[in-house]
């Protein structure tokens, strides 16, 4: 039976015919669940939440409840979950705090047990948030990033594409694309070579990104000087790092090691 008899589904919710809803789940008015969605027992889907095809919400997860923002004036807002994303037990994704705005989780994401996505966050496609990882409000996570267990990201911070945050890392400034960052406060240690290999980046491109890391943190240049050099690169991914830095409001996380690296860098 696709919808359990104990589930509470508002008459104004829209569910595709093949949506599965488990016992004691609650789905509020205006929620839209597309084909192939599964909502497990005791999950909560808040008003106006949109969940894409073949996504799955596990037991006791809370998706689309009120934002934890003292400035919220109870205006209508929403959560949008992409396709084929999995939200495991006790995950929470809160609605945006401004009228008509949204908190968004992309396609093909995995949010493990207890992960939290606060109001107004944007989580890119293919992101993994491991157990009890938490994002404060207005955080942006780039596509393919991996946030390890208990990692924390400060409000308004950005984590770039294919970044890896280590276990219990505390990011209080932006982490540029392709980097590996660990510790409290999170320090950029190296390029995320494992993640780049998994994403299909060839060896030459990985070396270019390693060169870019050396220019940023081991060349003796200031971050603005290093960013300007990276912006002149012929490699699009290196220019992406430069653009990310130039757009930063909170500043860039520091890099491990301050010694000058005299090796030639081809960026």
Q: What is the three-class DSSP state of 56?
A: strand
List the catalytic residue out of 69, 107, 108, 120: 120
Residue 267 in tokens: 């960026």
Catalytic-role residue among 42, 58, 116, 119: 119
Unique residue bearing structure tokens 């984590």: 159
Exposed e or buried b per residue across 106-136, where buried means at least 16 C-beta atoms within 10 angstroms of its C-beta: bbbbbbbbbbbbbbbbbbbbbbbbbbbbbbb
Nearest to 37 by CA among 59, 13, 53: 53
Active-site hit among 137, 142, 166, 195: 137
User: Is residue 137 annotated as part of the catalytic site, yes or no?
Assistant: yes
Query: Distance between CA 154 and CA 26 in Å, rounded?
Result: 31
| Active-site residue flag, 261 | no
Give the residue ranges of DSSP H helices in the chain. Answer: 193-198, 203-217, 223-230, 236-246
How far apart (Å, rounded) are the C-alpha atoms in residues 1 and 5?
9
Find the helix packing angle between 236-246 and 223-230, rounded to 10°: 140
The answer to whether 62 and 29 have CB atoms below 8 angstroms apart is: no
Task: Say whether 174 is catalytic.
Answer: no
List residues with catalytic annotation.
Answer: 119-120, 137
């Amino acid at each position: 039976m696709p919808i359990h008899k104990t589930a509470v589904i508002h008459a104004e919710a829209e569910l595709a015919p093949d949506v599965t809803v488990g016992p004691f789940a609650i789905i509020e008015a205006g929620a839209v669940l597309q084909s192939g969605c599964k909502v497990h027992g005791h999950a909560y889907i808040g008003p106006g939440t949109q969940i894409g095809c073949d996504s799955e919400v596990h037991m006791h997860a809370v998706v689309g409840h009120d934002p934890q923002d003292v400035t919220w004036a109870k205006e209508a807002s929403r959560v949008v979950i992409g396709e084929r994303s999995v939200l495991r037990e006790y995950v929470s994704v809160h609605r945006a705090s401004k009228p008509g705005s949204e908190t968004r989780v992309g396609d093909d994401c995995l949010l493990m047990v207890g992960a939290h996505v606060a109001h107004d966050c944007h989580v890119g496609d293919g992101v993994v948030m491991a157990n009890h990882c938490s994002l404060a409000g207005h955080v942006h996570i780039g596509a393919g990033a991996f946030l390890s267990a208990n990692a924390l990201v400060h409000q308004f911070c950005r984590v770039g594409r294919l970044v890896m945050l280590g276990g219990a890392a505390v990011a209080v400034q932006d982490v540029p694309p392709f980097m590996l960052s660990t510790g409290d406060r999170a320090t950029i240690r190296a390029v995320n070579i494992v993640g780049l290999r998994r994403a299909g980046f060839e060896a030459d491109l990985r070396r270019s990104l390693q060169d870019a890391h050396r220019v940023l943190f081991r060349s003796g240049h200031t971050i603005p000087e290093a960013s300007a050099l990276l912006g002149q690169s012929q490699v699009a991914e290196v220019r992406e790092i430069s653009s990310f830095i130039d757009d930063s409001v909170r500043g860039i996380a520091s890099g491990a090691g301050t010694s000058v690296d005299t090796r030639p860098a081809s960026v």
